[in-house]
Homo-oligomer: A and B are copies of this chain.
Amino acid sequence: MASAVGPGTAHVPELKNLTIENITENVHRINSQCSDPRLKYVMERLVSHLHDFARETRLSFDEWMAGIQFLTQVGQTCTQVRQEFILLSDIVGLSLLVDSIDHPKPPSSTKGTVLGPFHTHDASTLAPGSSISADPAGTPLLVLCTVKTISGDPVSGAKIDVWETDSHGKYDVQYDDRGDIPDGRAVIVSDDQGVFWFTAIVPVPYPIPNDGPVGNLLAKLGRHCWRPSHMHFMFEKEGFDHLVTALYIRGSDYETSDAVFGVKDSLIVALEDADAALAKQYNVKQGTKVLKYDFVLVTDEETKQLRHDEAVKAMEGLGRHGMMIVNGLPVPEVD
């Protein structure tokens, strides 16, 4: 008989007769062969929750198949310029949660928020005071910021990625004819005083891509697909924890119902109007809208310590004993 020959099974744990009740422990037993303790733990929690989900909902075959087809569609909607799984993660609050866990922030520092799918790596580095937007239909905006440490020292030479939509609520990458020059995005570098500034346009609300499976899901849930007006900021500086955040414009539509759960109170900013002095200093018209914010970065060391401490506290809070924290991540202690 021309049978294919597989590996031996001498050391493979034996499955029991499988039932609704014991399938979970059986999957854990088979997965216990994993030599990476962190992956083993992540899979153990994932399988437990997945099975509990099916048991608590009495998930039907038809619902399971609808889920399989949905996830397949999500995967097949992804392209070089569209990440539908990140969008799915965003609209169920997972992205915000993971960012909050992985980038813990002391009270006095700037909170992070969702990255979203529209950051690119090709933005031009512009001189202070440059305009990042070429859209003539946008409302002009002056952006005046500083970046400092928790103790108030300026952070100079920080590389700051900023990006926003045009006045139609679209990022440059959402146009088929985007062209060679990125628009509505730039890299700015903070000066010796930790100051960085540029001109842009007042952000507008926009719908997240809603012509795919995630848009269909939102419609079935009776949810809108809009994000309130915001501008993205991402900070890179050696020695400091990478900060992905955004500023939200006070009073924007959808401020309290962001489709991707990105808004945090401390990131909402009321725009001001440039007075005569400010207008003169920054060479803009009097009355121009002004966005001011003082960002506060956290060092890698502080973040590492905080990540460890919060992981310890979280495991205690969840009543999960016998865990080690390795590089900020819980791993079961070896018996």
- Which positions in A face B, CB cutoff 8 Å? 1-4, 6-7, 9, 12-15, 17-20, 23-24, 26-27, 30-31, 33-36, 39-43, 45-47, 49-61, 63-64, 68, 71-76, 78, 83, 85-86, 89, 92-103, 137-139, 167-169, 202, 204-207, 220-226, 253-254, 256-258, 261, 263-266, 307, 310-311, 314, 318, 320, 328-330
Contact = CB atoms under 8 A, between A and B. Distances in A.
B100 A9 contact: no
Nearest to A40: B221
Contact of A68 (B33, B83, B97, B329): B83
B97 A2 contact: no
A178 to B, nearest CB: 19
A93 B1 CA distance: 31
A112 to B, nearest CB: 10
A17 B71 CA distance: 30
B9 A224 contact: yes
Q: Which of A94, A167, A318, A328 has the most CB of B within 10 A?
A: A94
Contacts of A205: 3-4, 6
Nearest to A15: B256
B101 A168 contact: no
Contact of A59 (B36, B60, B98, B261): B98
A264 B78 contact: no
The residue in A64, A311, A330 that gathers the most chain B C-beta atoms within 10 A of its C-beta is A64
Given A98-B59, A207-B6, A328-B58, A24 B93 contact: yes
A77 B254 CA distance: 37
Contact of A139 (B1, B43, B78): B1
Residue with the highest number of chain B CB atoms closer than 10 Å, among A58, A103, A253: A58
10 contacts: A3-B168, A3-B169, A6-B253, A15-B258, A23-B96, A24-B93, A30-B221, A33-B221, A61-B99, A68-B83
